[in-house]
Structure 1
Amino acid sequence: MFRVSVLVFGLCLFGQTALCQEVTDGSTGTITPQELAALVASLPNFLKDPESARLSKLHLDPDNQDYVCGFLNAKNGFGGYVGDQPFRYGLKNGMLITDMNTPC
């Protein structure tokens, strides 16, 4: 177990950002590992500090299964967390939308 922890910690230090994000409420059971991996891999394209990302309440959009919805909390340019923001991620188009009016 110690070796695995050291390996993950080491990968986080050396730029493998996909392993550093955190799902804070265990809601990954509602989406597949491939869908979670696609979402996490897209975060560096949209966030100033993608390694700080905290995801919660993940689920597929009940009206359109091509979208993962949930809440995202990440650090801003000043280093402070901004608070949970609703998001919608398109599995087919790779777009991440954070908006209070996100329809999920």
Structure 2
Amino acid sequence: MRPLTWLIAMLGGTIGTAHATDFLDQSYKALSPNQLDSVVLEVAKVMRDPTSLIFRGLTHPNTGSPFVDNGVVCGFVNGKNAYGAYVGFTPFVYQGPINDPLVTIYAPQADDPDYGNALRKHMMDVSGCAAALGL
């Protein structure tokens, strides 16, 4: 193999594995490729180990409001903690547009003030994700 071809092949293999992502079901097929890429990238930004993400139950909630439904994706994500163990599936809300999204991970924590927990729950309710995910 020529040196330049070998270098390009090696770089292509490493660049494409920056975020190893797994899907436990076929729900990701409901999203456009651009939206799926944006969801994975934005959720990875707020997770401790962005290379260990596992998604399931991705859905577009239908609240009947074009203001809420536009660009909202929700589902469950699992990732590793600081000890390298998976923490369990946690609900999330992604609210786009793709160029300026907001991601909310609904993960109540014992040391989190009640306000933070209430705010995340409110986001799940208002976006329609709580109902869509059966929470």
TM norm structure 2: 0.61
The aligned residue for residue 24 of structure 1 is 24
> For residues 26 and 51 of structure 1, what CA distance do their matches in structure 2 show?
20
| Cα distance in 1 between the residues matched to 2:106 and 2:30 | 22
- Secondary structure at the aligned position of 2:56 is classed as strand
Higher helix share: 2
Larger Rg: 2
Is 2:103 aligned against 1:96?
Answer: yes
Aligned counterpart in structure 2 of residue 74 of structure 1, from 79, 99, 105: 79
Structure 1 unaligned residues grouped into runs of 5+ = 1-5
| Structure richer in strand, relative to its length | 1
In the other structure, the counterpart of 1:52 is 52
Give identity over the alignment, percent.
28
Does the aligned pair in 1 maintain the 2:73–2:94 contact within 8 Å?
yes
Partner residue, 2:43? 43
Q: Distance in 1 between matches of 2:36 and 2:48?
A: 20
Structure 2: 5+ residue stretches without partners: 1-8, 64-68, 108-120, 130-135
> Quick one: which amino acid aligns to residue 57 of structure 2?
K
Residues paired across the two proteins, number: 95
TM-score, structure 1 as length reference = 0.77
RMSD of aligned C-alpha atoms?
Answer: 2.4
